[in-house]
Amino acid sequence: MLIRSFLALQSENPGFEADGRLALSTHLPDSRYPTDEGARAYGDANLERLAAVPGVESVAITSLIPVSGQDEIWGLEIEGRPPSSLDEYIAVLHYRVSAGYFQTMGIPLRMGREFTPGDRAGSVPVTVVSESFAHDQFPGESPLGKRIRFAGDDPFPFWEIVGVAADVQHYQVGQTSMSQVYLAFAQRPHRRVNFIIKASVLPLSLVPAVRTEIQTLDPDMPVEGVRTLEQIIAEDISTPRFGGSTILGDGDENGAGRAAEQHSEARASGWCPPGGGRCDRRARRRTGAHPGVGIDAVRGGNPRSRSLRRSAVASHCRGSSSGPNANFR
């Protein structure tokens, strides 16, 4: 039974292509990158330099790498459907990605377009949503042109949906994830800057040149978490699914949901700082659960729709004078 489940996971489609992809992480300290303009310039300069490295087919930025333990959950509302309480905000996995991200990751677009270099500060704020989000929130109609806004984001405009992307298994291979919503990195930069490189050569052979390019721009910038996407998936598949049922193969969704719920409660209780893999590892040690197993951490009436609990909104969707969820920068 265990072997069959393991082999089934190896053949699972996580929603993106891992073959030939290299992932690495940098984090911009506020002391050197205090403004969005600085973060945007850092991203632009590195994208240009890394794209010129021999053997790099394409490169993109993302604030979250799927299946890596990185995590960021925000609550949002849909224009024309103002929530009457915190419970009615819709919980989503929140990515900020550069132009070319979906192509670099091999994530299919189902409708509309992905981000382009023209999606910059000062242009119309745009977003790409996952297929499950479109299905749940706009059944029987096109989501294109509809607009969303994040909790605590009242001073800011709504974001127009311009594309729909295939769902990604964010937390674990073989487990349905909550819906994803993507913003253009150039319109709202993030201080966690992960690079995904699609290589035409062995991905790990690019590491010395990639590290040199990044540290030429900023000699004090650590380059961390250097792995291929295939390595990330292999680590996930080999990890026992505590609290869930993937390895046991009994199809028990409730066990998976309980594990995710424990993780959500650990975050909301203040045990973990929001965002980042360190939070996930601490939550796993405390609860004995892998983060987000099954990812029914927050569940709405429709089994595929997600609405935030009051505690989760308070933890994840706190606004500030500098914009929503400033602690996620």
Q: Which residue has the higher pLDDT, 176 or 313?
A: 176
The pLDDT-based confidence of 173 (bands split at 50, 70, 90) is: confident
Q: What is residue 157's predicted lDDT score, i.e. its pLDDT?
A: 82
pLDDT band at 72 (very low <50, low <70, confident <90, very high): very high
What mean pLDDT is predicted for residues 223-228?
Answer: 96
The angle that helices 277-287 and 253-268 make with each other, rounded to 10 degrees, is: 110
Q: Cα Rg for the chain, rounded, in angstroms?
A: 19
The answer to whether 36 and 197 are in contact (CB under 8 A) is no
Alpha carbon distance 146, 282 (integer Å): 38
Question: Residue 6 — very low, low, confident or very high, per pLDDT cuts 50/70/90?
Answer: very low
pLDDT at 239: 63
Kindly report the average pLDDT of the chain as a whole number: 76
**Position with higher pLDDT, 304 vs 312:** 312
Provide DSSP, 273-286. Answer: -SSSHHHHHHHHHH
Rounded Cα distance between 112 and 114, Å, is 7
Residue 323 pLDDT > 50: no
Q: Please tell me which residue, 237 or 328, carries the higher pLDDT value.
A: 237
List pLDDT tens digits, range 95-146: 999 999 999 999 999 999 999 999 999 999 999 999 999 999 999 999 999 9
pLDDT at 155: 67
Based on the number of CB atoms within 10 Å of its own CB, is 19 exposed (0-12), middle (13-18) or buried (19 or more)? Answer: exposed
How confident is the model at residue 315, as a pLDDT? Answer: 41
DSSP E strand boundaries for 67-158: 73-78, 90-97, 109-112, 126-130, 147-150
Judge contact between 292 and 170, C-beta under 8 A.
yes
Is residue 151 a contact partner of residue 92, using CB atoms and an 8 Å limit? no
Instruction: Give me the pLDDT at residue 240, please.
Output: 54
Q: Which phi and psi (to 5°) does residue 85 adopt?
A: -155, 170
| Sequential DSSP letters for 134-197 | HHHHSTTS--TT-EEEETT-TTSPPEEEEEEE-----SSTTS----EEEEETTTS--SEEEEEE
The confidence score (pLDDT) of residue 197 equals 99
How much is the average pLDDT of 53-62?
98
* Per-residue pLDDT, 314: 37
pTM value > 0.75: no
Specify burial of residue 32 (Cβ count, 10 A radius: 0-12, 13-18, 19+). Answer: exposed
